[in-house]
Amino acid sequence: MLAEAPHREDIKSEIRKRHGSMAAFEVARGLPPQSTRDVLRGRAIAKTAHAIAQELDSTVEALFPGRFKSHIRDNTSEKVAAHRQNEGAR
């Protein structure tokens, strides 16, 4: 059975407990301003998501299930169609 991801307010409160504010967390980790907020609202910023997961001793997959799939390799044999302008370049 899959465990539910923590609520974004729980993530925010844990970051605030440890750093005082989300802005202080971003400065401490060298992240862009407001990037933590953006990730918690659904924007895919892998560097920030990994920093949040590391801070909370968790994984990106556990905190944000289904949002970051760059680590999964697709080994299907289907070819992706080339862009129409590049079709003849092969």
**What are the boundaries of each domain within the chain?**
8-63
Q: What is the pLDDT of residues 11-61, one digit of tens each?
A: 999 999 999 999 999 999 999 999 999 999 999 899 999 999 999 999 999
Under the banding of pLDDT at 50, 70 and 90, the label for residue 1 is very low
CB-side neighbour CA atoms (13 Å) of 88: 1
The pLDDT, as a whole number, for residue 51 is 96
For 39, other C-beta atoms within 10 Å of its C-beta total: 26
pLDDT at 2 over 80: no
| pTM for this prediction | 0.71
